[in-house]
Amino acid sequence: MMKKTKKEPGAEPTKSELEILQVLWQLGPSTVRAVNDVLNAQKREVQYTSTLKLMQIMVEKNFLNRDESQMKHIYSAAVEEKETKGHLLERFVDNLFDGSPSNLMQQLLGNKKTSKKELDAIREMLKKLDQ
């Protein structure tokens, strides 16, 4: 039985929920154990029971789907990666940079040494936007 629902408008994932979503976007549908193993390898040590509880909450919040048709439940992201990241970025730019993407870019490029390869990619993206 697949539990699948629509995300509530305006709901945003917490930092920990976003970490789980990023794992599921990367791996695809997975067990709690698989997600927990990746979190432990990539982020920080997290107890299995904490990951399980958070993923159960994320199903209730409509961030995840849960397939209960097998012994091991399989979880998948119920929200799109691009849409979620776009919404979070838009809110970030609105809150910290007065809604100005150029202020964000100036801050990013001023804070960090940007490689020639990254600058070339940015120039290419700007050319495409001009067309």
Q: Provide the CATH number for the domain around residue 60.
A: 1.10.10.10
pLDDT in tens, 78-101: 999 999 999 999 999 999 999 898
Question: What is the DSSP annotation of 18-49?
Answer: HHHHHHHHHH-SB-HHHHHHHHHHHT----HH
Q: Is residue 49 part of a domain?
A: yes
Task: Tell me if 91 is assigned to some domain.
Answer: no
93 domain-assigned: no
User: What is residue 10's predicted lDDT score, i.e. its pLDDT?
Assistant: 55
Task: Looking at the structure, tell me whether residues 10 and 64 fall in a common domain.
Answer: yes
Q: Find out whether 38 and 23 touch, Cβ atoms under 8 Å.
A: yes
Q: Considering the entire predicted model, what is its pTM?
A: 0.74
User: What is the pLDDT at residue 8?
Assistant: 47
Per-residue pLDDT tens digits for 33-74: 999 999 999 988 999 999 999 999 999 999 999 999 888 999
- For residues 20 and 8, the model is more confident at 20
State the residue range of the domain holding 64: 2-81
Q: Cβ(66)–Cβ(4) under 8 Å?
A: no
**Looking only at Cα atoms, what is the longest distance across the chain?**
53
Count of domains in the chain?
2
Amino acid at 1: M
Same domain (yes/no): 73, 11:
yes
For residues 26 and 67, membership in a common domain is answered with yes
Average pLDDT over the chain, rounded to whole? 88
